[in-house]
Structure 1
Amino acid sequence: MNETRKIEKRKMMGPITILMAMTAVMMIVAAIIMASCTTVDSTVGYTTGQNNETAEKTAEDVSVTTSGKSVWMADTTAVRNYTINVQTAYTARGRMISLTGIYELKVDGNNVVSYLPYFGRAYRTTFGIGSPLDFQSQTMNYRQERTKKNITRIDFDTRNEDDRIHYHIEVTDDGHATIDVTSMYRERIRFDGDMEINL
C-alpha cells in the first residue's frame, strides 16, 4: 500500500515540478525584460523604456564625442551651443579663399560670437577697422529645422554696430557646415567649416 502511494505521489510531482520550473523560467525572463527596459544608456544619459518617444528624440539630439571633442550629429534641434570652425571663404563673385587663421562662429543660447573675415564690396561707407563680421551680439528670429536627409538648416538674424546680418547655416550629420552671410550694406559671403557641439 505504501509503495502504491509513493508511485502515485511521484506521478503527481512530475507535472508540479515541470510547472514550477516553467514558472521560474518565466519569472527570470520577466526580470530580464524589466531590467532592460529601465537601464540607463551611459552614452546618451537618459533612462530608456519610460517614454520611448522622448528617448528616441533624445538619442537623435545627442552629439558623438570623438578625440575629446563633441561633433555635430543628426537633428540637434534642442542644441543651441555650438561652434563652427571655418577653413574656406567664397566671395559673392565666386573667388575661393583658404583661411590660415582661426576663424569661427559660436552660438551659445541667445548669444552669438562672430569671428569671421570679410571679403567683398560694401554698399555704404562705414567707420572702423577690421572685419564687419567680427563682433558679439544677440540672435534674433532663431529657427532650426530638418529639411532633408542628412541636412539640418539654421537661420537667425543679428546686428553689429552698423548693419543687420542674416546667417543661414546648413549642417550635415557628419558635422560639415556651410554658412551663408547676407547683410543690408554688403555683398554676401559664404564659409565652409566643421561644427562642434560645446559641452
Structure 2
Amino acid sequence: MKTLRNIIGVTLAGLMLVAVPFDMQAQSKKKATAEKTAEVKGMVDAQEYVFKAQTVIPMSGRTRQITSDYDLKVTKEEVVAYLPYFGRAYSAPIDPSKGGIQFTSKDFEYTATPRKKGGWEVLIRPKDARDVQQLTLTISENGYGSLQVISTNRQPISFSGYITEKKETKK
C-alpha cells in the first residue's frame, strides 16, 4: 500500500513538472498575441503603416504570388501606392511605365472602423488620384490584411499581405 502511494505521488509530481511548462508557454503566447494586437492597433490609430502585398487576386484570371516589393504606404499626410495590376483596363494609360496602381495622394478621406470579430476595416478615398476611387483595407488583430482597390477605368482587384511599421527614410 505504501509503495502504491509512492508511485502515485511520483506520477503526480511528474505530471505537474510537465504541465507547468505548457502553462507558461500558453501564457507567453497570450502575452505575445496581446502585444502584437496593441502594436497593430497603435499603427492603425496613428495612421502610420505600410501594407506589404504578397498575393494578387484579380477579378478574372488566376491568383498570383508577388515576388517584388509592392506596397501601400499610409501616413497622416499622404497615401502612396505602388501595386501591380492584372485584369481588364477600360482605357490604356498614356505613359506605358504607369501600368500598375501607382499614385500619391495628399488629399484623402481615412476611416478606420473596428470589426465585430476583431481587427479593423480601413476605408481610404483619395480625392486627388484620378483613377482610384476607393481602397478598402481589412486588417486582422495579428497584422495580416487584405486590400481591395476600386478604380474608375479598371476592374476591381484584391491583394493579401500584412502591415508593418513605416520605416523612416533619410532625406
Q: Establish whether TM, by shorter chain, passes 0.5.
A: yes
SS class of match (2:88) = coil
Structure 1: distance between partners of 2:42 and 2:117: 10
1:182 aligns with 2:143: no
Matched, 1:125 2:92: yes
Match of 1:112 among 54, 79, 87: 79
Q: Would the alpha carbon gap of residues 98 and 143 (structure 1) be closer, same or farther in structure 2, given more than 3 Å must change? A: same
CA contact (8 A) 2:61 2:87 kept: no
Rg comparison, structure with higher value? 1
Task: Give the helix-richer structure, 1 or 2.
Answer: 2
More strand by share: 1
- Counting only pairs closer than 5 Å after superposition, residues 66-77 of structure 1 correspond to structure 2 as 72=40, 74=41
Kindly indicate whether structure 1 or structure 2 has the higher relative contact order, using CA contacts under 8 Å at least 6 residues apart. 2
Equivalent pairs counted in the alignment come to 132
Contact 2:132/2:149 (8 A) holds in 1: no
Distance in 1, Cα, partners of 2:67 & 2:164:
19
2:136: which partner in 1? 168
Mapping for residues 70-109 of structure 1, pairs under 5 Å: 72=40, 74=41, 78-93=45-60, 95-109=62-76
Please list every run of 5 or more consecutive structure 2 residues that lacks an aligned counterpart in the other structure. Answer: 1-34
TM-score by length of 2: 0.68
Question: Which deviations, in whole Å up to 9, do the C-alpha atoms of 1:22-76 show, x marking residues without a partner?
Answer: xxxxxxxxxxxxxxxxxxxxxxxxxxxxxxxxxxxxx99841xxxxxxxx2x475
State the SS of the aligned residue for 1:78.
helix
Partners of 2:101 and 2:154 in 1: CA distance: 11
Q: Is the 8 A contact 2:87 2:154 kept in 1?
A: yes
With normalisation by structure 1, the TM-score equals 0.59
Distance 2:141 2:134 in 1: 23
For the aligned residue pairs, the C-alpha RMSD in angstroms reads 2.4
Q: Which ranges of structure 1 fall in alignment gaps of 5 or more residues?
A: 1-58, 64-71
* 2:87 alignment partner AA: G
